Amino acid sequence: MSAFAAVDLGASSGRVIVGTVDDGRVSLHEVNRFPNGPVPVAGSLHWDVLGLYRGVLDGLRAAGREAGALSGVGIDSWAVDYGLLDDDGALLGNPFHYRDARTDGVPDKVFTAIPATELYARTGLQVQPFNTVFQLVAAQGTAALAAARTALLVPDLLGYWLTGARVAEVTNASTTGLLDATTRTWATDLAERLAVDSSILPPLLDPGALLGHVRADVGLHGAVPVWTVGSHDTASAVVAVPAVGDDFAYISCGTWSLVGLELESPVLTEESRAANFTNEAGVDGTVRYLRNVMGLWVLQESIRTWNEAGLPADLPDLLAAAARVPALTTVVDLDSPTFLPPGDMPARIADEAARTGQTPPQSQAETVRCILDSLALAYRRAVRQAAALAHRDVSVVHVVGGGVRNELLCQLTSDATGLPVVAGPVEGAALGNVLVQARAAGVLSGGLRELRAVGARGLELRRYEPGATGGPSDRQWAAAASRIARDDR
């Protein structure tokens, strides 16, 4: 029996989970969970990265106590955000949160230096204002960037604090906008053309490599290896998709919903760029061909808004009430940038509804229903477009992550896509993290198919069939899509 600690940091919480691998089965047990979120500081949004590191240290010690001896630690988190280190390896300032407004307008500025078409042909990356490359351009002229010797993405930064090694794990590096999607090496020429000093980009490592050993002063028993994993949480989550064949789509459903396919090579066509599909690096050389859908963030922020206004907003009650609201009464385009920054989502939803000539939701239940219907609609569109753009057939949609618990959303996803949905695991990123560590440590072997089979053994999966609860027909979903003027291929 071997035990691994998976550090998995999401935008709304961080956790340390012990994964025990025994006789070709994995079981997960959470030993620490701590809140996470944007911290507004003097007009900017930051992460409390030291607070997160404290949660990691507490969790690793708890993991060590529980497991006795740990065979490894692996770290994954959200993407794109980074800390800058000076010559001494000290952190220069608090990392910015990707929802900070400093990148507003920066993509267009960058595209005057390098056309969007050229950038996409090289990096295959979707345009999101928060891509690291845009953040670095926005930071030009700051004292911190001028003093920086190394930029480390968040999991790499925590790995550096644990081991002293400064590297860039490749799955997360692929979200920077500075990685060549075909060669998987830094596109230093693009960086230089944007006056970004490419010497701050550290050497790349693949998932499954030995990063180093946990510093002795952390207080773990023995020399505990830190393995690189799919350090982008979405990459780890995709490893945990319990798929048996190749013709699956996945939705990694948390604060964001990442909707797409696993491919062998990137799709760098103009149609793909126009649809803003991304080609992010997956474990074992795969490509995560997907689109970011705004996700449960809009629901989380709605609940926060209601709580702040003193309104009762308990998620299970809201979901039960939303299930009783007629389907597709109002839908909004969740891809709209209006939903990106924190704020009053119910008001923004009402504005979007009015803008598209629909009746704004009147109650909390109607607002929640609108969010869920709109998510399902966005999933339908993303799954169909991904399949068309990559010339692939899709016969099943796997949902992993926190959204697995949202039964209404899973059923709506099946209804909207017209495909069976298999829901689980909830802790997808942690499971994928553990599977890759266990293989690196020699406890498991094989490719993704074998890892997935091991991961699936311990899971309770739930299957949803289209129309099983009398939900809207394909024609009704298509009509709803046309209300928000999206191309609904």
Amino acid at 293: V
User: Which residues are CB-neighbours of 253 under 8 A, at least 6 positions away?
Assistant: 295, 296, 399, 400, 401, 402, 403, 404, 406, 409
Q: How far is the CB of 172 from ligand LFR (least distance, A)?
A: 8
User: Based on CB atoms, which residue is closest to ligand LFR, 79 or 168?
Assistant: 79
Angle, nearest 10°, between helix axes 297-308 and 345-355? 120
User: Based on CB atoms, which residue is closest to ligand LFR, 98 or 379?
Assistant: 98
Is position 197 annotated as part of the catalytic site? no
User: Based on CB atoms, which residue is closest to ligand LFR, 96 or 306?
Assistant: 96
Q: How far is the CB of 5 from ligand LFR (least distance, A)?
A: 20
Based on the number of CB atoms within 10 Å of its own CB, is 144 exposed (0-12), middle (13-18) or buried (19 or more)? middle
From the candidates 48, 100, 156, 233, give the one annotated as an active-site residue: 233
Taking a C-beta distance cutoff of 8 angstroms, is the pair 416, 381 a contact?
Answer: no
Q: How far is the CB of 24 from ligand LFR (least distance, A)?
A: 29
Classify residue 103 by its DSSP letter: G
Report the length, in residues, of the chain.
489
DSSP string, 153-214: EHHHHHHHHHHS---EEHHHHTTTT-B-TTT-SB-HHHHHHTT--GGGSPPEE-TT-EEEE-
How far is the first Cα of the chain from the last one, in angstroms, to the nearest whole number? 49
User: Based on CB atoms, which residue is closest to ligand LFR, 236 or 302?
Assistant: 236
Task: Copy the structure tokens of residue 484.
Answer: 């928000």
CA 223, chain centre distance (Å): 31
User: Binding residues for ligand LFR, per CB under 6 A?
Assistant: 10-11, 78-80, 98, 232-234, 254-256, 258, 292
User: Based on CB atoms, which residue is closest to ligand LFR, 234 or 417?
Assistant: 234
Return the closest-CA partner of residue 30 out of 426, 456, 455.
426
CA 196, CA 344: separation in Å to the nearest integer? 35
- Cβ neighbours around 216 below 10 Å, total: 10
Q: How far is the CB of 107 from ligand LFR (least distance, A)?
A: 15
In this structure, the strands spanning 287-293 and 278-281 are: antiparallel
CA 344, CA 354: separation in Å to the nearest integer? 16
User: Based on CB atoms, which residue is closest to ligand LFR, 100 or 366?
Assistant: 100
Taking a C-beta distance cutoff of 8 angstroms, is the pair 435, 240 a contact?
Answer: yes
Taking a C-beta distance cutoff of 8 angstroms, is the pair 241, 193 a contact?
Answer: no
Determine the 3-state secondary structure of 24 from DSSP.
Answer: coil
User: Based on CB atoms, which residue is closest to ligand LFR, 240 or 258?
Assistant: 258
User: Based on CB atoms, which residue is closest to ligand LFR, 79 or 148?
Assistant: 79
CA 182, CA 281: separation in Å to the nearest integer? 10
Q: Which residues are catalytic?
A: 233
